A and B are shown apart, each in its own frame.
Chain A
C-alpha cells in the first residue's frame, strides 16, 4: 500500500498572512482610554459633590448617582487590572 505525501493546497488553508487588519488600537491605548473615562467620571462626581456642598442648585440624587457611576467604573477598572495581573502571574510562573 502506498501512501502519498500529504499535500496541502494553499487554498484549503486560510492564509494567516492575508488577514492584515486595519490599524487597531494597542492594548495600552485601550487601557489608557478606559482609565481616562473612569477619571472623567470621578472628576464629574467630585464636581457635583462640591456643588452640592457649596449650595449650588444640584439635586442630591444627581450627586449620589454621579458618585455611584464613578464607583462602578472604578470597580470595573479594578477587575480588569486583576485579570491582567493574573495573566501576568501565570506567565511568570512558567517553568523555563
Chain B
C-alpha cells in the first residue's frame, strides 16, 4: 500500500538512529577501556549510513540502512598514570580516543533525528486518517 511506504522509509530511519545510539553508547561505555581483543585501547566507533534502494514496486527512495560501523583512526590519548596496570615503562597509558563531549553531542543529534522520523510517521498516519474522513458527514 502506498500509504505505508513512507512509514517504512521512516522506520528505516528509526532503525538507523537506534543503531547509531547503540554505537554511541558503546563508545561512552568504553571511554576508559584499555584492553581489547585486538590489543591496545578501545577505538572510537562511528556508524556509516547508506541510501537504501527500493526493490519493491513502490519506487523512489527506500530509506536508509547501515553500511558499516568503522573505527576511528585518531591516535590514542596518552595519559600519565604510572600506577595503571597497562602503563608503559615511561608511565604513560594509552587511553581510548573517545571524547565524551563529542559523544554527548552525537547522542543529542541521534535523539533529535529519531524524533524527526517519528514525526514523519505521525504525519503519514494523520494524512491517512484525514483521507478516511473524505465523504464523512
Interface positions of A (Cβ within 8 A of B) = 59, 61-62, 65, 68-69, 72-73, 75-76, 79, 83
Beta-carbon contact of B129 and A65 below 8 Å: no
Beta-carbon contact of A72 and B14 below 8 Å: no
Min CB gap B56→A, angstroms: 15
Which one of B18, B121, B129 contacts A59 once the chains associate, using CB atoms below 8 Å? B18
Beta-carbon contact of B15 and A76 below 8 Å: no
Residues of B within 8 A of A59 (CB): 14-15, 18
A31 to B14, CA, bound (A): 34
Beta-carbon contact of A75 and B132 below 8 Å: yes
Beta-carbon contact of B128 and A61 below 8 Å: no
Beta-carbon contact of A62 and B11 below 8 Å: yes
Beta-carbon contact of B129 and A69 below 8 Å: no
Which chain B residue has the least Cβ–Cβ distance from A65? B11
Interface of B is mostly: helix
A9 to B55, CA, bound (A): 53
A69 to B121, CA, bound (A): 11
Interface positions of B (Cβ within 8 A of A) = 1, 3-4, 7, 11, 14-15, 18, 118, 121, 125, 128-129, 132, 135-136
A65-B7, A76-B132 are known; give 4 further A-B pairs, CB within 8 A. Answer: A61-B14, A68-B7, A72-B129, A79-B132
Residues of B within 8 A of A65 (CB): 7, 11, 121
Beta-carbon contact of B7 and A69 below 8 Å: yes
Which chain A residue has the least Cβ–Cβ distance from B1? A73
Quick one: which of A61, A73, A79 has the most chain B CB within 10 A? Answer: A61
Residues of A within 8 A of B7 (CB): 65, 68-69
Residues of A within 8 A of B132 (CB): 75-76, 79
Which chain A residue has the least Cβ–Cβ distance from B17? A61
- Would you give 14 A-B contacts (Cβ < 8 Å), ordered by A? A59-B15, A59-B18, A65-B7, A65-B11, A65-B121, A68-B7, A68-B125, A69-B4, A69-B7, A72-B129, A75-B129, A79-B132, A79-B136, A83-B135
